[in-house]
Each structure stands twice: as structure tokens, then as C-alpha cells.
Amino acid sequence: MATLVIERMYAYSGTTKDKGQYVYYGKTAGCIVTGDEDGVKAVARDVLYAMQHVGYVVPPAADCGWLGKIGPGPSYGDIVEDVDTPTGYDSEFTNKNTTVMTWNLMHAAKLLKEAGGYPTDGNKIDEWYQVTNAADQNPEYR
């Protein structure tokens, strides 16, 4: 499912917004991975690379994960009999990393908002075509 979402994001990544930048510029991205097997870092690496590749800003520590016991068993948030809290909610490691990720995403989003988004110098698509067309028409321009 995540692969399908990323493929759809790539399909729209060439769309520009009113500032002439790609549509995903000026937004932050993070990745939460849950499951009962290893692989959080590998999944987060691939997802966050794809997100930054289409234009998102990825701040430090923009991923977190929860892994249950290896093998079949309850997933994060599952209710288990005779347990006061859903599975995983009491994981100090997960809670710490989720909190750090959330604050870093909010700080990056605030910085982008205060700056009016990502600066447009050098990344406005229509200006790129003007420069490349001028160079094609006049080789001495280069």
C-alpha cells in the first residue's frame, strides 16, 4: 500500500503551484513504521528518500517505529486480554522517538511557514525552461 501511495505522489510530483515550484515543496515529511518484524530503518529510509525526492523537507530524526516480538503476535495498538494498555503504548523507546520526530516535524513546518515556504531561488520550473531555451537559441549564452 505504501508503494502505491508513493507511486501516486511521484505521478503528481511534476505539478507546480502558484509560486512556480513543485507541488510538494514547503511541506515536511516523516515516517512511522509498525509491525512485528525488523525493518523499521530500511522502510523509513526508502519512504523518506522518496518524500524528499518529490520535494518534502525531511528534518532530523523524522522516523520512528515500533516492533513487537518477532513472529506472529499482536500489532501496535491491539487490545490484549489482561493488559491495561493497548500493545506498544507503554514502549518508552517508541514514545521517545515519536515525540522527537513530532517536534522536529513541527519545528521544520514552522520555519517553512514563517519563511513563506521554501525559497524560490533556483527551483522555479518555468525559469529553468526560460534559461535552457535561451541557451539553445544562443550558444554563446552558455
Rounded-to-integer distance, Cα 64 and Cα 44, Å: 8
What pLDDT is attached to residue 107?
A: 98
**Among 46, 42, 48, CA closest to 30:** 48
Count how many domains the chain has. 1
What pLDDT is attached to residue 25?
A: 92
Cell 528518500 belongs to which residue? 49
Task: Find the domain containing 41 and state its range.
Answer: 24-128
What 69-74 contacts at long range (C-beta under 8 Å, 24+ apart), as own/partner pairs, is 69/36, 70/36, 70/37, 70/38, 71/36, 72/36, 73/36, 74/36
User: Does residue 101 fall inside a structural domain?
Assistant: yes
pLDDT tens track of the chain, all 142 residues? 889 999 999 999 989 988 888 999 999 999 999 876 678 888 999 999 999 999 999 999 999 988 766 666 777 777 878 777 777 777 788 889 999 999 999 999 999 999 999 888 888 877 776 655 555 555 555 4
State the cell numbers at 7.
507511486
What pLDDT is attached to residue 132?
A: 57
CB 6, CB 47: distance < 8 Å:
yes
User: Does residue 90 fall inside a structural domain?
Assistant: yes
User: Does residue 30 fall inside a structural domain?
Assistant: yes
In terms of DSSP bridges, do strands 63-67 and 31-35 run parallel, antiparallel, or are they unpaired? parallel
User: Does residue 116 fall inside a structural domain?
Assistant: yes
State the cell numbers at 22.
513543485
User: Does residue 9 fall inside a structural domain?
Assistant: no
User: Does residue 108 fall inside a structural domain?
Assistant: yes
User: Does residue 72 fall inside a structural domain?
Assistant: yes
What pLDDT is attached to residue 24?
A: 93
Rounded-to-integer distance, Cα 119 and Cα 52, Å: 16
Helices 2-12 and 40-54 cross at an angle (nearest 10°) of 10
User: Does residue 39 fall inside a structural domain?
Assistant: yes
